[in-house]
Amino acid sequence: MLDMEDRMEANQKRYLKEIGSSMAAYTAMVAVSIWLLKGHADSPLRYIFAVLPLIPSAFAIWAAIRFFRGLDELQRRIQFEAIAFSFLGTCLFSLNWGVLERFGLPDAGVLWISLLLFGLYILGILIACRRYQ
């Protein structure tokens, strides 16, 4: 039977393999989607072509869930705190930005929200890791 460190390493290797292949498929699907959209700009099919990259994204989400399930209790707690920090920080920032847009702040696109979410997640990881040293 594998000891805890071997299981964690196997979990991490599986995750990197799954997330890497999902992101490679996502990149390819974005290219295919853009190519299809150029030829069908006025077609009702454009909506289907536009969401094609969501398919490999779903596999990336599944890989992340499997990865989290394979973590030990401390690593799960760190991940939970980082995700909570990221979610709540993004909500706070985006809600306030939305209110302030009415008073002249420029419109913040959706892309910036996802980047903020990931940035705060990384910051949350750093804070939680420092807390549990």
Domain boundary among 52, 71, 90: 71
Domain boundary among 51, 71, 91: 71
Q: What is the pLDDT of residues 73-120, one digit of tens each?
A: 999 999 999 999 999 999 999 999 989 999 998 888 888 898 999 999
Q: What is the pLDDT of residues 40-53, one digit of tens each?
A: 888 989 999 999 99
Are both 66 and 76 inside the same structural domain? Answer: no
Categorize the per-residue pLDDT at 124 as very low, low, confident or very high, splitting at 50, 70 and 90. very high
Are both 49 and 92 inside the same structural domain? Answer: no
Are both 101 and 40 inside the same structural domain? Answer: no
pTM of the full predicted structure?
A: 0.77
Domain boundary among 54, 71, 88: 71
Are both 1 and 64 inside the same structural domain? Answer: yes
Domain span holding position 79: 72-133
| Rounded Cα distance, 110 and 102, in Å | 17
Are both 64 and 81 inside the same structural domain? Answer: no
Are both 5 and 60 inside the same structural domain? Answer: yes
Please, which residues have CB within 8 angstroms of residue 33's CB and are 6 or more apart in sequence? 49, 50, 52, 53
| Rounded Cα distance, 36 and 27, in Å | 14
Q: Check: CB of residue 117 under 8 Å from CB of residue 90.
A: yes
Q: Give the chain's domain count.
A: 2
| Rounded Cα distance, 56 and 23, in Å | 7
Are both 8 and 24 inside the same structural domain? Answer: yes
